[in-house]
Chain A
């Protein structure tokens, strides 16, 4: 028999965005109920899943997270598996193979923890360069929320303004912790890049540096931030779940939201979900927050099509599911004559950001360059064994291939392009719900950047590092930063949410997170998603207090 639950604030999704809003609402005295499509799995189970993977699968970041049948997410161990959920199409379909986890805690389970703020210029692409869109507000509006997000998640970073990002921009608060030290590889990259005018900065990262923070231990360099930090030194939303419950929040797992119901006054009245037995339940509330990532949120809105919402909920603009963004990535696998020695410290701990800014953005995309800092012993070991070596020669080759190889990456700033669109596939999932279909084309802005700017620079950087062999990926890949599907703007006719991530069409529906981002910038998206979550949380609390 259908049941109806009720709460002041109903949040769909238990990732970073949902958890930040839940805590803010609970702290303001509101009741909170969270729905999570997937299961709640303990950290030690995920670590064991990882360690028990064959070495060839350990770089498949989704492999330690087997999905439940009712909450599928992308799996990549085989091509068949990779095609079993996301229905991808278009010239750059490969660049939208987005990895996210439908577990309680969401994709922060296997994020890198990197927290680059967007710059003031990143928010004004249209005004400055005549491309993309302008955000609904300026950097000054976002800055205090960035600072709050950095404290909420525990972001460490440099105190020296010359090493901070964005450059020459005031911070309202220092980072809560100092930077994490470089290992030999990142130091070498920093020194070499400087000779080319590329500044490799210590990354602000949601990892406890030298001290405990927020009940989590300091990073001990386990070099396993993805697929899972074994000690929770890196922020992930799963660490917030017990705190949310202690504050009175209720979390229902294995609850797959499939319909948002609105009334004649255009207010959301309920969210309906299926349990694993395919039984339907409804949750009513005063405010509804869809924070189930940049793919699942627009999918849920489109699934909610009915007589009152013929194009889907919140979609009078026809922009739901359009403008899908990510930073299209190219990688260079290089071999060097001298050792670089990655694998000391976090798997990512620095990036070159000054390549993302400049007047050239009138013509082509800016980009972030970085080096993967993961230990390469497994790659070196497997490659040396493949050669049939043994004895001392085997040991020497493993050591050489581990130390003298590296992966450089370049991630390009995307533009919001309406034809990059998520729609409902005619293919269904285990529950009978339409799978997400996504058309993706990185666009000429990115292609021109790769051709004229980033690939030549990538080769220059590799050569300066002493590369004797450079293999660049033949096609664009994904960065797992899902953005744009419920785009923010001041004009309800061409955007989905307002400056507080409130749906233009429904004033008690909030769609915060990556999907709301107007442009993507070159850096990782999570800290901006978190800042938008806190801004939305203020609006939610204010709205309910006024009510």
Chain B
């Protein structure tokens, strides 16, 4: 397997200009319009770097708009969060890590590992625990709902047309793709 980082074989600045990052940026700008674009222009590197690290920590389709909110919330919650993301990115590049299963056991720095878990937790739960309380960054986009969305309802969202659900039980092993 090839790391999403090693494919570029460039330095960090170059990495941020890589195709994957550009695709992320393009998608972000396209989907969220001018306001989001302006915000991104103000602080583009941090968010893009966060998205790239997130894509390795959370190997699913990640909504860049949600990512932006998580990034902002974690930046407020943790001093030096940008440095943490950079450190994670450096570790990933230096060790040519290919996926989160290889990354986490290799992360011996406890603080860095905890930060990685916080990023994962934010994507799945949709909440960031901050200094002044919890900040909800996602509801229906929280990935914990995607894991069971082939069967279970996202509360408050319609399951189906009226009375169109049924009692069919789905095997546990049929993990949805998301």
Contact = CB atoms under 8 A, between A and B. Distances in A.
Interface of A: 47, 50-56, 58, 180-184, 186-188, 208-211, 217-224, 228, 230-231, 338-339, 341-345, 374-378, 380-382, 384-385, 388, 390-396, 398-400, 402-404
A403 to B, nearest CB: 6
A361 to B, nearest CB: 33
| Pairs of residues from A and B, 5 with the lowest C-beta to C-beta distance, nearest first | A381-B144, A221-B159, A187-B167, A218-B162, A343-B152
A377 B149 CA distance: 9
A221 B148 contact: no
Contact of B124 (A52, A182, A394): A394
A375 B160 contact: no
Nearest to A218: B162
Interface in B101-135: 101, 104, 116-117, 120-121, 124-127, 134
**What's the dominant secondary structure at chain B's contact region?**
loop
B152 A341 contact: yes
B59 interface: yes
Contacts of B126: 55
A402 B163 CA distance: 23
Interface stretch (B18-26, B29-37, B79-87, B168-176): B168-176
A374 B154 CA distance: 10
B136 interface: yes
Contacts of B158: 220-222, 231
Interface of B: 57, 59, 99-101, 104, 116-117, 120-121, 124-127, 134, 136, 139-140, 142-145, 147-149, 151-172, 175
Nearest to B157: A222
A222 B159 contact: yes
A202 to B, nearest CB: 12
B163 A218 contact: yes
A54 B153 contact: no
A377 B163 contact: no
Contact of A390 (B104, B157, B162, B169): B104
A344 B159 contact: yes
B159 A391 contact: no
A275 B151 CA distance: 48
**What's the dominant secondary structure at chain A's contact region?**
loop
B26 to A, nearest CB: 27
Contacts of A186: 167
B101 A377 contact: no
A341 B139 contact: no
B135 to A, nearest CB: 8
Interface-central residue, B117, B124, B144, by most chain A CB under 10 Å: B144
Contacts, number: 169
B93 to A, nearest CB: 19
Interface-central residue, A58, A342, A344, A396, by most chain B CB under 10 Å: A344
8 contacts: A52-B139, A180-B163, A187-B167, A222-B153, A222-B156, A345-B165, A381-B125, A404-B172
Contacts of B127: 54-55
A381 B165 contact: no
Given A52-B136, A222-B153, A390-B120, A375 B148 contact: yes
B134 to A, nearest CB: 4
Given A209-B163, A341-B170, A402 B147 contact: yes
A211 B162 CA distance: 8
A385 B125 contact: yes
Contacts of B170: 184, 339, 341
Contact of B167 (A183, A209, A222, A399): A183
A56 B134 CA distance: 10
B57 A344 contact: no
A265 to B, nearest CB: 52
B117 A388 contact: yes
A184 B104 CA distance: 36
A209 B162 CA distance: 7
Nearest to A186: B167
Nearest to B160: A221
A344 B124 contact: no
Contacts of B171: 339
A188 B148 contact: no
A341 B169 contact: yes
Contacts of B147: 377, 380-381, 395, 398-399, 402
